[in-house]
C-alpha cells in the first residue's frame, strides 16, 4: 500500500494476496463487485473504530494495475486520516508499506507493462508541461513499444530465414528467394530505424527540456531578457558591464513546452580571471545549446541598415534568434527602418525588436520563440511516436550498426552477417525489456522512483 | 610438417579371438551397454581416462555399423565430429579412414558454418572402430545381452534416490558390478520395426531385440519418464540397376579435408573418391504414397519423427505438389549398393519398389533391402544432469538416441561425454561440465538436459549462440588442452600437437601484428586490393588479412622470412584474422553466461513452494526441468526475465544465508519479506 500528501482525497492502494483480507477487515465482510466504487465505513480491524467514510474498489487479479489482487481506499486527504488508515492496514496480516516504484515493478513483472511503458508512466508522473504530458501518455499507452516490437518481430523472421539458409540449404530444399527476402527486410528496417533516429532529438528535448542560451556582448540586456521571460528577478541586473559572470539557469514553460533558459556572461575580452572563466563557460554553453538567443543592444547597431545586417551575420550560429534589445532607446523612424529592412535579408534568422524595459515587442518575440521551441520538440501527437530517451537512442544506434555488419558480410561470410542480425535483435530487445532485460531492469528501477 | 600416417587396421582375426574365451572380471570401473556411435565413444573415453572398462554389445561384428546413412558430418554435425576428435574421440579418425567422398558444405557461407562431411565405406568404418576398441588398453569388449540393471540404495552423501552398481546378463547367473554404467541402447529400448502392416520387436533389422527387463527397470524401478520417438531408413538399391546418366553428378572436393586434427590426409586418395548423384521425385511418387497409406502402419502412428530428415511419406503429405531432392550415395568403394537419401519409407516392399521406379534414374531399380521404420523409447533428458548421469540414480549414465537425439555425430558427442564422466565417477573425480560458450558438445548437452526434446534432436549451427567463436577450425584450441588436464581424456601426443599449433598460431599472429605499414605502402605491395583510405594510416598484417582478397600466401610472398615458417597454418590464420574482432566482442556476453552458469541451483530445491515471486507457470517449468544452474534456467522456454532476476536474488540470498550462521534482526525482516513474496499470486 502507498499514498501521501495533504489534499482533498487520498488514495491508498493495496496490492497482493492480502488485499481481499484488508478490504474485508476494514470495510465490511462482503467484497464489492469487481471494479465498482462503493461508499463504505472504513474501520480499524482491531478496535472496530470508524476511521473515515470513503469509496472502496476491488480489483481481482489479473485485471488490476499490478496484475495482482488490488484494493483502493479513497479517503479524505488529511494527514491524520491517512496515518490512521495506514496504521490500521499495518495490523492486517501480510501487509507492509510499498517500496519506491514497487507497484510499477510488479506490473512489469506480471507482464502488464513493457519497459517503454514503464518509462512512459514515469515521465507522465514527472510531466510538468502540457506537451510533455501528451508525449508521456502516448508512450505509456505502448505506442513506442509497439514500434520496437514490430521491428523485433521482423528481425526475428529475417534471422530465422538466414539461419534456415545456413543450416539447411545444401541438403534440403530451401527456396532460393529466402535470402533476397531477408536482404530486403534488413534494408527496409535499417532505413526505418535511421529515419526514426533522424528526429533531431525532438522527443528527448521535449522530455528533458529545450536548452535555450541567452548570449551576446556585455550590457546588451541578457539578464533583463531572462528576468522578463521567467517573470521574476532571477538574475541581477545593473548598468555595469560584466554584472553576470556565471551561468544563471531557470526552467520556464513556453507555450506548453519545457525550456531550460541559461543566462551567460557577456562576451568580451577581460583581464579579470573570474570574468574570463565566465566567458569561457558562456561560449561552451552556446556550443551545447539547442537554441541561442543572440541579444544585441540596438543602439550599438551601425545606423546604415545594410551594414547592420553584415554586422549581425558575424555573430550567428545555426539555431539562433536575434533579439535587438533596448528598442525604446531608438528613434521611432530607426525602429521602423530596422523592422522593414532586416526582415528581408537572406542569411539572417528571425529578428525581434524588443525592449525589456517597456516590454514593447515582447508579444511578437514570445510568438517567435514559441514556434522555434515547438519545431525543436515536434508535435508529440503528430506522426510516429518519437524517441524520448537517450537509452533508446543508444540501443537503436547499436542496432543500426549491427545491421550494417549484415550488409558488410552479406556476400563474403553469411555467419558473420547473421551475427549482425542477432546483435541488432538483442539491441532492440533491450529497449522494451523483452530480451536480456535482467541487466537493465536494475538500472530502470534504481533510476526511476516511479508509480508509487 | 606433420605427416602422421593413419594407423593400419589390425587383422580381423585377432579381434575376434580376444572376445572368445575371455572370461569377464567380476568388477569394472565402467560398463558401457551398446556398441553404436555413443557406446564406442563412451567405452573408449572411459578407458582413455584410466578406468577399467567393459563394453557389452550383442555382436562384436556390428560394432561401428552405420545403421542408416553411409555418411558422417555436415553442417553442425561436422562441428561435433571435430570436437569429438579434439577430445581424442574415435569418429573423426574413423571418418578419415573410411571416407570415400569428402566435401565441405556451406563453403561460400563463411568458415564458422563450414560443414565438413564425408560419404563412408561401411566396411572400412566398422573395421576401424573394431580395431581401435579391441586394441584399447583397459577396455574389454564382450558379446552379450543385458537383462537387468543392479539397483541398490543410494550413497547418502550424494543426491539421488537410487544407485546402479552393475548389470545382469541374459543367460548368466553372475552379475557384473561397476561403479558406473553407461546405457547407449539407441533404438533398441522397446524398439519396434515397421514395414507395411507388419510390426516386429527390434531396434535394427537383422538384430535381436533388447530385453524387456531393461526398459522395465528404467520405467518402473527407477521411475524415469520415457517418451516415444520414431525414425526410419530408406531401401538399399542395387547399383547396377540404376541409370545414373539420368541423375546429376555431384563430385566431391578435389582435395579431401580430413576430419581429424591428427591427420594431414585421408586414407582415400583424391582421385579414388566416388561422386554422389542428385535426382528428384515425380508426381508418381506422391500418387504411390497416397494410394498405399492404408498399408502403412508406421505413418499412421503418432510417435514423433524428425522434421529434419522426414520420410518420403511425410514429405509429400506435408508439401504436396512439389518435387523433392533424392541423393544417390555410394555405400562403399567396392559395394554394389546405393543409398537413396531422402527416400526413407515404411510401406510394404512391393509398394516400395513401385515407388522408387517412379523416379527416372531408378525406373528399373532393384531393391536389395527394403526401407523400414523404427519406434523406440527415449528417456526424457531433462532427468539428466549435465554430466549425463540420471539425476535420481547414482552411477547411471545415458547417451545417444536414448536421450532423444538423432544422428551419429550427436550420439558420438554424448557418448564421449558420458564416458568421460562415468570414468571420472569411477575414479572418484568430480563431474565436469562443458559450457555452451566453448563447444557444440556443451550446447547439445545443455539443450538436452535443460530444455528436453519434443522431436528427435539434431544439431544446427544456429543453436550455438557463439557460433563465430565455436568454429570447426579451432576445436583443438578450444578443447584439446582442456581435455588433457581438466578432463583427462586426451593422449599426450595429441596434447603436444595442440600446444605446438597454439604456439605457432600465436607467434604467427604476433608476427602479422608487427607488420605495420602505411596504406600507401600496402597498396604498392598488393596493388589489386582496394585498401580503403578512410582507415588510419598504418595497417597491420592482421588488418590486411581481413580484406577479402588478401590471403596469407600473398602476405607470405611479400614477407617470406617472417611468414613462410607458418605456411601450414595459412587457412587458420586467415580465419583467425577475420573472426578475431567478432570473437572479442562476444567475450563479455560469454563471461556473463559463464558467471550465470557458475551460480548453481541446489538439486533439492522445491520450486513449487519456493519463497520467491514466481508465476505458477514458471514454477512448473522449473519443477519439470530442474535446471542445474541459473544459466540453464534462463534458457528454459517460458522463463521470463523477471523470473530470472527473482531466482538470481534468491540464489544470492541463499548463499549469503549459508555464510551467516547466526540469525539477526535483518534476517528476520528478510524472512518476513520472503513469506510475503511466497504468498503472492501472479
Give one DSSP letter per residue of A120-187, joined into a string.
HHHHHHH--SHHHHHHHHHHHTTHHHHHHHHHHHHHHHHHHHHHHHHHHTTTS---THHHHHHHHHHH
- Residues B276 and B203: beta-carbon distance below 8 Å: no
Instruction: Say how many Å lie between the first and final Cα of chain B, rounded.
Output: 65
Higher pLDDT, B673 or A119: A119
Please give the pLDDT value at position A307.
61
In angstroms, how far is the first alpha carbon of chain A from the final one? 9
**The domain boundary residue, chosen from A319, A351, A377:** A377
The tens digit of pLDDT for each residue in B643-660 reads 776 777 677 666 555 554
**Domain covering B236-373, topology:** Elongation Factor Tu (Ef-tu); domain 3 (2.40.30)
**Residue A104 maps to a domain:** no
* pTM confidence score: 0.75
End of a domain among A344, A377, A410?
A377
Mutation target to probe the B interface, by most B beta carbons within 10 A, among A170, A179, A432 is A170
Instruction: Please report, for the domain that includes residue A253, its CATH number.
Output: 3.40.50.300
Residue A138, preceding peptide bond in cis (omega within 30° of 0): no
Assess contact for A42 and A54: CB atoms under 8 A.
yes
Spatial CA neighbour of B599 closest among B527, B560, B650, B664: B650
Given its phi and psi angles, is residue B290 left (phi above 0), alpha (psi -120 to 50 degrees) or beta? Answer: alpha
- Asked if residue A106 is part of any domain, the answer here is no
Mean pLDDT in chain A?
79
User: Do A211 and A195 share a structural domain?
Assistant: no
- State whether A218 and A318 are in the same domain: yes
Write the pLDDT tens digit of every residue in A218-252: 888 888 888 888 887 878 888 888 888 888 888 88
- Closest residue of chain B to A405, computed from CA coordinates: B582
Bridge partner list, B343: none
For residue A123, being part of any structural domain is answered with: no
pLDDT of residue B50: 96
Q: Please check whether residues A342 and A396 belong to one and the same domain.
A: no
Do A75 and A180 have their domain in common? no
Torsion of CA A182, A187, A192, A193, to 10 degrees: 90
- Does residue A122 sit within a domain? no
Last-in-domain residue among A54, A76, A97: A97
The answer to whether the CB atoms of A61 and B462 lie below 8 A apart is: no
Between A389 and A316, the more confident residue is: A389
Q: Are residues A263 and A368 in the same domain?
A: yes
Domain of A404?
Answer: 130-199+391-446
> CA-based diameter of chain B, in Å?
87
Is A452 inside a domain boundary? no
**How high is the pLDDT of residue B596?**
67
CATH class of B599-679: mainly alpha
Between CA B206 and CA B233 the distance in angstroms is 14
Nearest 5°: phi and psi at A190? Answer: -60, -45
Residue A172's region, left for phi above 0, alpha for psi from -120 to 50, else beta, is: beta
Angular region, A248: left φ>0, alpha ψ -120 to 50, beta rest: beta
Estimate to the nearest angstrom the gap between the alpha carbon of B632 and the chain centroid: 19
Top pLDDT among A166 and B667 is at A166
Q: For the structural domain made of B35-189+378-487, what CATH number should be given?
A: 3.50.50.60
The CA–CA distances, whole Å, from A386 to A195, A206, A243, A400, A440 equal 10, 10, 41, 17, 21
Between CA A250 and CA A263 the distance in angstroms is: 9
Cα atoms found within 13 Å of the Cα of residue A407, Cβ hemisphere only = 14
Please report the pLDDT score of residue A448 as a whole number: 34
Q: What local confidence, expressed as pLDDT, does residue B116 receive?
A: 96
Q: Is residue A160 located within the same domain as residue A213?
A: no
Residue A107 lies in a domain: no
Concatenated DSSP letters for B386-426? TTSBBTTEETEEE-SGGGTB-SHHHHHHHHHHHHHHHHHHH
Average pLDDT score over residue span A8-24: 88
Alpha-carbon gap, residue B43 to B35, rounded angstroms: 9
d(C-alpha B510, C-alpha A147), whole Å: 47
Nearest to A167 among B324, B327, B462 (CB): B462
Task: Indicate whether A356 and A419 sit together in one domain.
Answer: no
Mutation to test the A interface, candidates B110, B253, B576, most A Cβ within 10 Å: B110
**Where is pLDDT greater, at B671 or A273?**
A273
Q: Give residue-wise pLDDT tens across range B127-165.
A: 999 999 999 999 999 999 999 999 999 999 888 899 999
State yes or no: ipTM above 0.85: no
Same domain, yes or no, for A372 and A425?
Answer: no
How close A191 gets to chain B, by Cα (Å)?
Answer: 23
Same-domain status, A218 and A135: no
CATH number of the domain that residue A20 is part of: 3.30.1360.120
Contacting residues of B for A165, CB less than 8 Å apart: 109
CB nearest to A171's CB, from B74, B460, B681: B74
Could you write out the three-class secondary structure of B170-190? CCCCCCEEEEEEEECCCCCCC
Strand partners, A215: A294
- Comparing C-alpha atoms, which of B281, B18, B299 is closest to residue B132? B18
Residue of A nearest to B466 (CA): A419
What pLDDT was estimated at residue B142? 93
Q: Are A156 and A172 part of one and the same domain?
A: yes
Q: Quick one: pLDDT at residue A74?
A: 92
Provide block-wise average pLDDT over 10 residues at a time, chain B (682 residues): 41 40 77 97 97 95 93 95 98 97 93 96 96 96 92 90 93 90 94 91 84 87 93 95 96 96 96 95 94 84 63 84 90 95 93 96 96 94 94 96 96 98 95 88 92 86 88 96 94 96 96 90 85 74 90 94 94 94 80 71 79 75 81 72 69 59 38 30 26
Burial tier of B674 (Cβ tally within 10 Å: 0-12, 13-18, 19+): middle
Chain B nearest-CA distance from A99, in A, is 12
- Phi and psi torsions of A413, nearest 5°: -155, 95
Q: Is A168 exposed, middle or buried (0-12, 13-18, 19+ CB in 10 A)?
A: middle
Best mutation site among A165, A416, A425 for testing chain B: the one with the most B CBs within 10 Å? A416
Question: Are A96 and B468 in contact (CB < 8 Å)?
Answer: no
CATH entry, B501-594, from 3.40.50, 1.10.540, 1.10.10, 1.10.287? 1.10.10
Give me the pLDDT at residue A284, please: 84
Contacts of B658 (CB under 8 A, 6+ apart): none
Rounded Cα gap, residues B614 and B629, in angstroms: 17
Nearest to B412 by CA among B103, B48, B73, B9: B73
Chain B nearest C-alpha distance from A426 (Å)? 11
Question: In the β-sheet with B198-201, what is the strand arrangement from edge to edge?
Answer: B198-201, B192-195, B372-379, B226-233
Q: Is A90 on the interface with B (CB under 8 A)?
A: no
Number of domains in chain A: 3
Residues A363, A236: one domain?
yes
Q: State residue B653's pLDDT score.
A: 62
Enumerate the domain spans of chain B.
Answer: 35-189+378-487, 236-373, 501-594, 599-679
Under a CB-based contact definition with an 8 Å cutoff, are residues B32 and B54 in contact?
Answer: yes
Distance in angstroms (rounded) separating the CA atoms of residues A181 and A187: 10
- For B669, counting Cβ atoms within 10 Å of its Cβ (0-12 exposed, 13-18 middle, 19+ buried), the class is exposed
Is A303 among the domain residues? yes
Indicate yes or no: CB of A17 within 8 angstroms of CB of B680: yes
pLDDT of residue A4: 52
Q: How far apart, in whole angstroms, are the C-alpha atoms of residue B301 and residue B375? A: 9
Among residues A363, A311, A307, A305, the alpha carbon closest in space to that of A330 is found at: A305
**What mean pLDDT do residues A273-286 have?**
85
Amino acid at each position: 500500500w502507498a499514498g501521501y500528501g495533504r489534499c482533498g482525497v487520498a488514495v491508498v492502494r493495496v496490492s497482493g494476496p492480502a488485499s481481499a483480507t484488508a478490504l474485508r477487515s476494514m470495510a465490511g465482510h462482503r467484497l464489492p463487485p469487481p471494479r465498482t466504487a462503493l461508499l463504505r465505513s472504513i474501520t480499524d480491524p482491531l478496535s472496530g473504530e470508524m476511521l473515515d467514510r470513503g469509496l472502496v474498489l476491488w480489483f481481482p487479479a489479473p485485471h488490476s494495475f499490478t496484475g495482482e489482487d488490488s484494493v483502493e481506499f479513497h479517503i479524505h486527504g488529511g494527514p491524520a486520516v491517512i496515518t490512521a488508515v495506514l496504521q490500521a492496514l499495518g495490523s492486517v496480516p501480510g501487509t507492509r508499506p510499498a517500496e519506491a516504484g514497487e507497484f510499477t515493478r510488479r506490473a512489469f513483472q506480471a507482464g502488464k507493462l513493457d519497459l517503454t511503458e514503464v518509462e512512459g508512466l514515469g515521465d507522465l508522473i514527472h510531466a510538468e508541461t502540457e506537451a510533455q504530458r501528451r508525449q508521456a501518455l502516448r508512450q505509456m499507452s505502448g505506442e513506442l513499444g509497439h514500434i520496437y516490437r514490430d521491428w523485433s518481430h521482423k528481425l526475428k523472421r529475417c534471422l530465422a530465414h538466414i539461419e534456415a539458409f545456413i543450416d539447411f540449404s545444401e541438403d534440403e530444399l530451401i527456396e532460393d528467394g529466402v535470402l533476397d527476402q531477408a536482404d530486403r527486410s534488413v534494408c527496409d528496417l535499417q532505413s526505418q530505424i535511421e529515419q526514426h533516429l533522424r528526429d533531431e532529438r525532438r522527443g528527448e528535448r521535449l522530455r528533458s527540456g529545450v536548452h535555450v542560451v541567452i548570449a551576446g556582448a556585455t550590457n546588451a540586456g541578457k539578464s533583463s531578457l531572462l528576468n522578463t521571460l521567467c517573470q521574476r528577478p532571477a538574475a541581477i541586473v545593473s548598468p555595469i558591464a560584466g554584472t553576470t559572470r556565471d551561468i544563471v539557469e531557470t526552467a520556464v514553460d513556453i507555450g506548453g513546452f519545457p525550456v531550460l533558459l541559461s543566462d551567460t556572461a557577456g562576451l568580451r575580452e577581460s583581464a579579470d580571471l573570474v570574468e574570463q572563466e565566465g566567458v569561457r563557460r558562456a561560449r561552451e554553453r552556446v556550443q551545447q545549446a539547442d537554441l541561442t538567443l543572440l541579444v544585441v543592444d540596438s543602439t550599438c547597431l551601425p545606423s546604415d541598415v545594410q551594414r547592420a545586417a553584415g554586422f549581425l551575420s558575424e555573430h550567428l550560429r545555426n539555431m539562433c534568434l536575434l533579439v535587438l534589445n533596448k528598442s525604446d532607446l531608438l528613434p521611432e523612424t530607426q525602429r521602423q527602418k530596422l523592422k522593414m529592412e532586416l526582415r528581408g535579408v537572406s542569411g539572417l534568422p528571425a529578428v525581434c525588436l524588443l525592449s525589456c524595459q517597456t516590454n514593447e515587442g515582447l508579444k511578437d518575440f514570445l510568438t517567435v520563440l514559441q514556434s522555434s521551441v515547438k519545431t525543436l520538440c515536434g508535435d508529440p501527437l503528430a506522426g510516429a511516436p518519437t524517441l524520448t530517451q537517450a537509452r533508446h537512442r543508444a540501443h537503436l544506434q547499436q542496432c543500426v550498426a549491427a545491421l550494417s555488419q549484415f550488409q558488410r558480410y552479406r556476400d563474403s561470410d553469411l555467419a558473420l552477417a547473421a551475427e549482425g542480425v542477432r546483435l541488432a535483435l538483442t539491441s532492440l530487445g533491450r529497449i522494451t525489456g523483452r530480451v536480456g532485460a535482467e541487466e537493465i531492469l536494475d538500472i530502470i528501477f534504481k533510476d526511476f522512483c516511479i508509480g508509487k | 610438417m606433420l605427416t602422421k600416417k593413419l594407423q593400419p587396421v589390425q587383422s580381423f582375426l585377432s579381434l575376434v579371438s580376444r572376445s572368445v574365451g575371455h572370461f569377464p572380471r567380476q568388477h569394472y570401473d565402467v560398463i558401457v551397454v551398446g556398441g553404436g556411435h555413443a557406446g564406442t565413444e563412451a567405452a573408449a573415453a572411459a578407458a582413455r581416462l584410466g578406468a577399467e572398462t567393459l563394453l557389452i554389445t550383442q555382436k562384436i561384428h556390428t560394432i561401428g555399423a552405420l545403421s542408416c546413412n553411409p555418411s558422417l558430418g555436415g553442417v553442425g554435425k561436422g562441428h561435433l565430429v571435430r570436437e569429438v576428435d579434439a577430445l581424442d574421440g574415435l569418429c573423426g579418425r574413423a571418418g578419415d579412414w573410411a571416407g570415400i567422398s569428402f566435401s565441405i558444405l556451406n563453403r561460400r557461407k563463411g568458415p564458422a558454418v563450414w560443414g565438413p562431411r564425408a560419404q563412408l565405406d561401411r566396411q572400412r568404418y566398422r573395421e576401424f572402430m573394431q580395431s581401435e576398441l579391441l586394441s584399447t588398453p583397459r577396455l574389454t569388449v564382450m558379446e552379450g545381452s543385458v537383462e537387468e540393471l543392479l539397483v541398490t540404495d543410494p550413497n547418502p552423501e550424494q543426491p539421488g534416490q537410487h544407485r546402479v552398481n552393475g548389470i545382469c546378463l541374459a543367460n548368466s547367473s553372475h552379475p557384473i558390478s561397476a561403479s558406473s554404467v553407461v546405457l547407449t541402447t539407441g533404438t533398441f529400448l522397446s524398439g519396434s520395426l515397421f514395414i507395411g502392416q507388419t510390426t516386429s520387436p527390434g531396434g535394427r533389422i537383422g538384430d535381436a531385440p533388447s530385453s524387456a527387463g531393461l526398459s522395465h527397470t528404467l520405467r518402473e524401478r527407477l521411475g524415469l519418464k520415457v517418451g516415444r520417438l520414431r525414425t526410419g531408413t530408406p531401401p538399399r538399391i542395387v547399383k547396377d540397376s540404376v541409370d545414373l546418366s539420368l541423375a546429376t553428378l555431384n563430385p566431391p572436393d578435389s582435395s579431401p579435408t580430413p576430419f581429424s586434427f591428427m591427420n594431414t590426409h585421408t586414407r582415400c586418395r583424391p582421385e579414388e573418391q566416388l561422386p554422389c548423384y542428385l535426382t528428384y521425385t515425380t508426381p508418381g511418387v506422391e500418387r504411390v504414397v497416397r494410394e498405399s497409406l492404408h498399408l502403412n502402419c508406421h505413418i499412421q502412428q503418432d510417435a514423433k519423427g524428425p522434421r529434419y530428415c522426414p520420410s518420403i511419406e511425410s514429405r509429400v503429405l506435408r508439401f504436396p505438389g512439389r518435387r523433392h531432392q533424392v541423393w544417390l550415395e555410394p555405400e562403399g568403394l567396392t559395394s554394389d549398393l546405393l543409398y537413396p537419401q531422402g527416400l526413407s519409407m515404411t510401406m510394404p516392399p512391393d509398394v516400395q519398389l513401385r515407388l522408387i521406379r517412379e523416379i527416372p534414374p531408378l525406373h528399373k531399380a532393384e531393391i536389395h533391402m527394403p526401407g523400414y521404420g523404427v519406434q523406440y523409447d527415449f528417456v526424457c533428458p531433462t532427468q539428466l544432469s549435465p554430466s549425463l548421469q540420471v539425476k535420481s540414480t547414482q552411477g547411471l549414465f545415458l547417451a545417444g538416441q536414448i536421450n532423444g537425439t538423432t544422428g551419429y555425430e550427436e550420439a558420438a558427442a554424448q557418448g564421449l561425454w558420458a564416458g568421460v564422466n562415468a570414468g571420472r565417477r569411477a575414479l572418484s573425480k568430480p563431474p565436469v561440465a562443458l559450457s555452451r560458450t566453448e563447444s557444440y558438445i556443451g550446447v547439445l548437452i545443455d539443450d538436452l538436459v535443460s530444455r528436453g526434446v519434443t522431436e528427435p534432436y539434431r544439431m544446427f549451427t544456429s543453436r550455438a549462440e557463439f557460433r563465430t567463436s565455436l568454429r570447426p577450425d579451432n576445436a583443438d584450441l578450444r578443447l584439446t588442452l582442456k581435455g588433457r588436464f581438466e578432463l583427462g581424456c586426451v593422449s599426450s601426443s595429441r596434447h603436444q600437437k595442440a600446444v605446438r599449433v597454439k604456439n605457432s598460431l600465436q607467434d604467427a599472429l604476433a608476427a602479422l601484428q608487427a607488420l605495420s605499414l602505411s596504406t600507401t605502402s600496402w597498396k604498392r605491395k598488393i596493388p589489386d586490393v582496394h585498401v580503403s583510405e578512410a582507415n588510419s594510416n598504418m595497417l597491420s598484417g592482421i588488418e590486411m588479412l581481413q580484406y577479402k582478397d588478401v590471403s596469407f600466401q600473398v602476405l607470405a610472398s611479400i614477407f617470406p622470412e617472417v611468414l613462410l615458417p607458418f605456411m601450414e597454418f595459412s587457412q587458420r590464420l586467415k580465419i583467425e584474422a577475420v573472426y578475431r574482432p567478432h570473437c572479442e566482442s562476444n567475450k563479455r556476453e560469454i563471461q556473463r553466461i559463464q558467471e550465470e552458469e557458475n551460480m548453481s541451483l541446489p538439486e533439492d530445491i522445491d520450486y513449487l513452494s519456493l519463497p520467491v515471486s514466481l508465476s505458477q507457470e514458471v514454477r512448473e517449468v522449473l519443477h519439470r526441468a530442474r535446471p542445474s544452474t541459473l544459466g540453464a534456467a534462463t534458457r528454459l522456454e517460458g522463463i521470463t526475465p523477471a523470473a530470472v532476476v527473482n531466482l538470481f536474488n534468491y540464489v544470492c540470498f541463499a548463499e549469503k544465508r549459508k555464510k551467516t550462521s547466526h540469525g539477526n534482526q535483518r534476517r528476520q525482516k528478510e524472512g518476513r519479506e520472503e513469506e510475503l513474496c511466497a504468498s503472492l499470486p501472479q
